[in-house]
Amino acid sequence: MKKAVWIVLLILIADQVLKIWIKTTFYFGESYPVIGHWFYLHFTENEGMAYGMKLGGTWGKLALSIFRLFAIAGIFWWLKTSVKKGAGNLMIVCISLILAGAIGNIIDSAFYGLIFSESSFMHLATIFPKGGGYASFLHGKVVDMLYFPVIETHFPKGFPIYGGEDFVFFRPVFNIADSAITTGVIMLILFQRKIFTNTK
């Protein structure tokens, strides 16, 4: 269990440190090239799920946040049960990554609206503003900043529906928590035979 705790803590610290730094030093929509034209720090926020997907409206946001809380409880139970059953290190790492990512994003949803002022194209957000934060508990926005437009081109003019339009791969802007969840899930899929065969 110690290994799992360390994985979760390290990811949470990295995720939250980067998010808070971006939130308080970048204007909304601001980009900074890190490596050439294919890796940027690009500050955006989303009110929904990973990679900018949404569940509309105030009630949708609340429902999503509550679902996340239940999901975290379920993932924690899965991790604890797997450790007790003597699951292999690979499975523990996968579940720990998913748990860390889920906690990282619920922190934003639960608390960022309370502790930060609104970010905008003209104003930097401040932490613990005098007038209070920009949203209530469980209604905060998730901070995203990792952007990898590896390929930027155009669809051919004769291409159905999207002919002549811009094409960017990879378009979504995400964060460390999203990366942890995705990595954990992909590892479970790729190594499922080894992971679940070794599970007692």
Number of domains in the chain: 1
Tens of pLDDT, residues 137-168: 998 999 999 999 877 777 777 777 777 777 67
**For residue 196, is pLDDT > 70?**
yes
Q: In what order do the strands lie in the sheet with 31-35?
A: 31-35, 39-46, 142-147, 173-174
What value does the mean pLDDT take over residues 121-149? 94
List 15, 108, 166, 178, catalytic entry: 178
Tens of pLDDT, residues 45-68: 987 655 555 555 667 778 888 888
Active site residue 178: yes
| Domain limits for position 134 | 2-197
**For residue 1, is pLDDT > 90?**
no
pLDDT at 113: 95
Active site residue 144: yes
pTM exceeds 0.75, yes or no: yes
Greater model confidence, 106 or 166: 106
* 3-class DSSP state of 31: strand
User: What is the distance between the alpha carbons of residues 135 and 116, in angstroms, rounded to a whole number?
Assistant: 9
- Cβ atoms of 5 and 103 closer than 8 Å: no
User: What is the distance between the alpha carbons of residues 44 and 173, in angstroms, rounded to a whole number?
Assistant: 8
Tens of pLDDT, residues 10-42: 999 999 999 999 999 999 999 999 998 889 999
